[in-house]
Amino acid sequence: MSFNERLKKIGIIAAVALLPLLFCANVWQSFRYSSLKKEIARLESIQQDLIEQNKRNILGISVLESPERIEALAREKLGLGRPSPEDFIIVRPETAERESDG
């Protein structure tokens, strides 16, 4: 048997042995692709739920921060009210002229 014939025989054996290996690799890649596709869909669903929850939280915060609600809580729960004009103390800073005279 010549060297070329042996080389052909080895090439045919390698090709025959390689075909099932390539087929298994293709099946594995398909399985992996399917698994990753399902995982992406699951994560997108979770992300959408979190976005909706975030929107509800932002709406809740805006309701809780409203000045009308805070004023009502101050009056009803804490017994606070608007101060009368007599309760104000007006503080005026000294002017530069007064400081230089002193």
Domain-embedded: residue 65? yes
The C-alpha atoms of residue 102 and residue 100 are separated, in whole angstroms, by 6
Range of the domain at 42: 3-95
* Count of the separate structural domains present in the chain: 1
Residue by residue, pLDDT tens for the chain (102 residues) are 788 888 888 888 988 889 989 999 999 999 999 999 999 999 999 999 999 999 999 999 998 888 888 888 888 888 888 888 888 888 888 876 655 555
Rounded distance between C-alpha atoms, residue 47 and residue 39, angstroms: 12
Has residue 50 been placed in a domain?
Answer: yes
Residue 101 placed within a domain? no
Q: Would 102 be classed as within a structural domain?
A: no
Q: Is residue 56 part of a domain?
A: yes
Residue ranges of alpha helices (H) inside the chain are: 3-64, 67-76, 96-101
In-domain check, residue 15 = yes
